[in-house]
Amino acid sequence: MPAALLNVIAAVPIAYRMRGRFRGKRLVTTLLVVPITLGTVLTAQGLLNFLGPTGWFNRLLLASGLVDEPVRLTHNYWGVFFSLVITGFPFAFLLVLSYLSGIDPTLERAAATLGADWRRRFTRITLPLLMPGLATTFCLTFVLAFSVFPSAVLVGNPAGETRVISLAAYQAAYEQYDYPYASAIAMIMGFVELVVIAVVLAARSRFYTGSTGGKG
């Protein structure tokens, strides 16, 4: 859940700044969504090469004298967290950008003519109109992060702090061949996801859900 929430929070200001037209917009958008094409395995391998004990990041820290020993950022919680952020952010960014395109920009222009600065325009106009879309975006990124499996094995510690519930279901089904137990774990996963999604969608209904005057 922290990774899903961070992806949504990080996507909002970036997508907000990229609504207008500017030179190099397509290039920046392409760079932001490239992780979608990499997949979980390649992302995990890249994290091991960059953040591992002998990776570039730790070598830079050791060479600069900032640390005396490599910082442990893989094969623990942080390795899985970084992997989920990298793979989940492009989805959140594209969804938020599409929701923002459905908000009529003349609403902010009208507020600007009344003296509202960009902070007030964002917090009083854009963000309230965007909240239903953010709720949906969070649900999708949460489901993506909740069912994490490869990252927990490749860059996490599957025998310790990153022993996620999907890994327990896999081991019950394909290592212990206890299919009823594996099905029970899968049902628990589904129940937890449904509860979280139901709570978020219930909260979503309290936000403004009418027309935003735009394309969406």
Looking at residue 92, what is its pLDDT? 92
CB 55 within 8 A of CB 72: no
Looking at residue 174, which CATH number applies to its domain? 1.10.3720.10
In a domain, 214, yes or no: no
Looking at residue 216, what is its pLDDT? 46
Q: What is the DSSP letter of 212?
A: -
**What residue numbers bound the domain in which 169 lies?**
2-204
How far does Cα 203 stand from its chain's mean position?
A: 20
Which value, to the nearest 10 degrees, does the dihedral of the CA atoms of residues 170, 172, 175, 178 take? Answer: -130
Burial class (CB in 10 A: 0-12, 13-18, 19+), 44: buried
In a domain, 184, yes or no: yes
CA distances from 123 to 128, 133, 161 (A): 7, 15, 38
CB 4 within 8 A of CB 142: yes
Looking at residue 211, what is its pLDDT? 59
Report the DSSP beta bridge partners of residue 103.
213
Q: What is the DSSP letter of 154?
A: H
Which residue is it, tokens 């222009």? 109
In a domain, 189, yes or no: yes
Residue 156, phi-psi category: left (phi > 0), alpha (psi -120 to 50), beta (remainder): beta
Q: Strand ranges (DSSP E) for the chain? A: none
In a domain, 175, yes or no: yes
The structure tokens listed for 185 are 């774990």
In a domain, 211, yes or no: no
% helix, strand, coil for the chain, step of 5: 70, 0, 30
In a domain, 215, yes or no: no
In a domain, 181, yes or no: yes
Write out 74-101 in H/E/C secondary structure. Answer: CCCHHHHHHHHHHHHHHHHHHHHHHHHH
**What are the average pLDDT values for consecutive 10-residue runs of the chain, which has 216 residues?**
86 85 83 84 88 88 87 89 90 90 85 86 87 90 84 84 85 88 91 91 77 54
In a domain, 173, yes or no: yes
Distance of alpha carbon 84 from alpha carbon 154, whole angstroms: 12
Residue 149: half-sphere exposure toward Cβ, Cα within 13 Å:
8
Looking at residue 101, what is its pLDDT? 85
Q: What is the DSSP letter of 211?
A: -
State how many domains the chain has. 1
